[in-house]
Each structure stands twice: as C-alpha cells, then as structure tokens.
Amino acid sequence: MSKKRLVVKIGSSSLTDRDGSLSPLKLAKFCDAFASVKKAGHELIVVSSGSVAAGFREIGYPSKPQTVRSKQAAAAVGQSLLMQQYRFSLQQYGITPAQMLLTRHDFRNAENYQNIFESLTELLKKGILPIINENDSTAVDELTFGDNDILSALLSGVVHADMLLLMTDIDGIYDDNPFQNPEAEKYEKIYSIDHDLLGRAGVSSSTVGTGGMHAKLLAAKAAQQMGTAVYISTFKETEPFQDIASYKGKGTYILPADEKQMRTSRQWIAYHASPRGSLKVDAGAAEALLHQGKSLLLVGVISMEGAFKKGDVLDVFDEHGELLGKGKAAAEFRELHEHSTSSGSSPLVIHRDFWVTLNHRYKRKEDNYAE
C-alpha cells in the first residue's frame, strides 16, 4: 500500500474506565497501534479527547462536571495528565508526541489557518506524532467545536488526509439503533449522508463522551465534502489502522464523492470564514459563476448588503434567494457602491480563484478542487 496520511480521532469513552478516569491500559493499546502504522510508513495525526475525563477525578469532582467552569477546570488539570501518559507510552517506540490545542478562532483567522497547516506539515516531516485536542480550558461557547468529531474532520481537510478514522463506542453506522433493535443492519459503505440518515442517527451510548452518532455523521459529511474518506467503528487490536486504510475494516466507510481534494484556500472560504456581507446576483451572473467558471462582475449584482472590505468573504445568492456559494470580495463595499452609480467598465467583485460553489445541484467536479 502506498504511503497515506491518516487522522485518527479517539473519543473519551475509548480512553477511560467505567468510573470516568483515564485508563493507561487503553491508551497504551492505542499507542501500540500508532507505532505500527508509523512503522508501516504512513503519516499519522491523532485528535484525542479525554482531558476533562482524565482531570475531573483529580480535581475532586465525583462525576463528569456539567458546568462550563467545572469542565474548563477539569480540562486544565486533565490535559497535562493526558499528554504525560501519551509521552510515557510512546517513548518505548521511539516516538515523540507534540501537543496542539485549538479553538474555532484558529480556523476562522486566515493566517492562523495557514499556520496550522504549516506547523502540522513540519511535524509530520520530522516524524513527530501530533496529538490535538480542543482548548477546553479556555474556549467559550462561540469558539468551541462542540466535540472533537468536527475538529478532526476540519483538520483532515486542512492537511488533505486520505482517511479520517473516528474511533467510538459503536462499531459502525446502522439503519436503526442497534442497542434497541437487534435486527438493525450495519452499513459497510455510505456514499451520501442525507437528511434521512442524519435523522435516524441516535445519540451516544456513553456517559463520558459528548458526541453522538449524529455528530459523527455531520463530521463525516464535512470531511467527505472536502475529499477525505471516513471510517467509523470501535478500536480493535486485531484491526490495524493500516488495514483500515486499505478498506479491510469491519466498520462503516463513508466515501468522498470526488477523488480530488478541495484546495486549502477554498476550504477556509467554504467552512471557516465568517461572511461579512452578502450579494444577490442575476441569472446571467449565476450562470457565469456556476457553469462557465467565470468571475463575478458588478454588472451582474442585483443588491449588496454589509460594510465589507476587500478580502472579506461574502455569501452569494441567486435572484430567488438561494445560496449559490461564497467568495472573497475583490473590492470594498463603498468602492463598489459608488461605482454602481457611474458609467464605464464593470469592476470585479469576486475573482474565480476565490470562489467556492456550495450549492451541490450546480457543483461541477472540477470546481474547488486541487489538480
């Protein structure tokens, strides 16, 4: 098998004992699997939950805390314990771990977003094992991912991973709740995550983790749209990660619609940047953007909203109010507004290189993807 870049996400329930405390044995088994996949020549990034679960006993809480303040306190204690255990378990294989704590802000800022890519690329180049978690000790609601499932999906896109492995307490995706219906059947492969499948996804059976199967499917859908394959199952010592990457796993695979992966710059526009304004365009401009691969000129804009600047990301709607995609403004609002009342050539509003089609009814395979 050729060299692959894998992202493995480990949920809290996969790392802790029944009382919620960190299990050195479970963690050590994961580290043995990490060593095996790296020995096989593949690149690996780990997104590991467990800081709150590892820390709340140490801080004196009898059970997993529920308030933001208590969770942050437990995470502050638990994160160091988690990394200490990873370092202890990995040193016997000669593997050096690196800790990276992230929040939504790191993805929303274009410069920080690029720095994430460059930092991870350098760590992988040097043979280091990046171990990533959300910065639970300082993050506030509007800057959190909610759980590490979506964080792992977004990271998979950033580093152009070949596959994201979501390790959870259920061995795949079923057509019904397997804990309630013994006749429920497991999907081997999923090509499209639709509203029906999302609606039937149950919650997690664990009292330790935060992400249910619905959250995992949303994360899988995001990774799928960026061109990364996803695998969902429980961790088994008899099922090496390199075998999973070769599609020999017994869980569920979610396959990307396109073989090409979305360009990093366009991932940021599509999934991370906060729109600073919006445009409504006429049918001719929509046709040019969606089907002809052309840039958007002011002559095709019906209306503009928001005091945006050059470089800000804008939502673009058709004349019926349906979202077509997003793009970077080539000029600021005032400049475009003033020019719309004057004569002369029509100025550029969004260049084709900074446009992302999000309406899948119109999306062409070559749009948004790297060659």
Regarding whether 213 and 337 lie in a shared domain, the answer is: no
199 & 237 share domain: yes
Residue 352 CA to its chain's centroid (Å): 25
d(Cα 151, Cα 130) in Å, to the nearest integer? 14
Query: Based on the domain organization, do 12 and 147 belong to the same domain?
Result: yes
| 168 assigned binding-site residue | yes
**What is the count of structural domains for the chain?**
2
Determine the distance from the C-alpha atom of residue 19 to the mean position of all C-alpha atoms in its chain, rounded to a whole number. 29
| 169 known ligand binder | yes
CA 161 – CA 246 distance, rounded (Å): 14
128 plus 54 within the same structural domain: yes
Half-sphere exposure of 80 (CA within 13 A, CB side): 7
Cα separation, 307 vs 313, whole angstroms:
12
Check whether 285 has a pLDDT greater than 80: yes
- pLDDT of 371 > 70? The answer is no
pLDDT, mean over the chain: 85
Q: Which amino acid does the sequence have at 13?
A: S
Give yes or no for residue 206 having a pLDDT over 60.
no
Task: Using the structure block, give the residue that is written with the tokens 């204690």.
Answer: 77
Q: Which residue has the tokens 């437990």?
A: 74
| Domain shared by 279 and 234, yes or no | no
CB 64 within 8 A of CB 208: yes
Is 136 annotated among the ligand-binding residues?
yes
- Rounded-to-integer distance, Cα 186 and Cα 220, Å: 16
Instruction: Tell me which DSSP letter residue 262 carries.
Output: B
Q: Check whether residue 106 and residue 222 sit in a common domain.
A: yes
**366 in a structural domain:** no
353 has binding-site annotation: no
Over the stretch 156-186, which tens digit does the pLDDT of each residue have?
Answer: 999 999 999 999 888 999 888 788 888 888 9
Judge whether 135 lies within some domain.
yes
Query: Coil, strand, or helix at residue 229?
Result: strand
DSSP string, 53-101: HHHHHHHT-SS---SHHHHHHHHHHHHHHHHHHHHHHHGGGT--EEEEE
Q: Mark whether 253 and 282 lie in a shared domain.
A: no
Q: Is there a domain that residue 10 lies in?
A: yes
Domain boundary among 228, 248, 265: 265
Residues 189 and 55 in one domain: yes
Residue 125, in any domain of the structure? yes
Q: What is each CA distance from 309 to 301, 304, 333, in whole angstroms?
A: 17, 13, 6
CA neighbor of 6 nearest in space, from 38, 50, 28: 38
Please check whether residue 363 lies inside any domain of the structure: no
Q: Among 80-84, 230-234, 240-244, 338-342, which is the least confidently predicted range? A: 338-342
pLDDT at 192: 87
Residue 52 in contact with residue 64, Cβ under 8 Å?
A: yes
189 annotated as a binding-site residue? no
- At 99, the pLDDT band (50, 70, 90 cuts) reads very high
Say if CB 61 and CB 25 are below 8 A apart: no
Provide the pLDDT for residue 1.
65
Give the CA dihedral 179, 185, 187, 188, nearest 10 degrees. 110
Are residues 258 and 278 both part of a single domain?
no
28 falls within a domain: yes
CATH number at residue 295: 2.30.130.10
d(CA 136, CA 78): 10
- Asked if residue 101 and residue 181 are part of one domain, the reply reads yes
Q: Give the Cα separation of 215 and 198 in Å (integer).
A: 9
Nearest to 102 by CA among 129, 139, 54, 68: 139
Take residue 237 and report the two structure tokens written for it: 């010592």
What confidence score (pLDDT) does residue 326 get?
94
Indicate which CATH number applies to the domain containing 72.
3.40.1160.10
29 is in an annotated binding site: no
**Domain span at 303:** 274-357
* Residue 350 shares a structural domain with residue 233: no
Residue ending a domain, choose from 265, 291, 306: 265
Confirm whether 364 is domain-assigned.
no
Question: Both 210 and 336 in a single domain?
Answer: no
What are 117-120's contacts with CB under 8 Å, separation 24+? 117/158, 117/159, 117/264, 120/45, 120/155, 120/158, 120/159
Residue 365 covered by a domain? no
Task: Report the alpha-carbon angle 11-218-259, nearest 5.
Answer: 105
Determine the pLDDT at residue 189.
94
Out of 234, 265, 296, a domain closes at: 265
The DSSP symbol for 295 reads: P
Give the C-alpha separation, 150 to 132, whole Å: 13
pLDDT digits (tens, 9 = 90+) for 301-327: 999 999 899 999 999 999 999 999 999
Q: What share of the chain is helix, strand, coil (3-state, %, to 5)?
A: 40, 20, 40
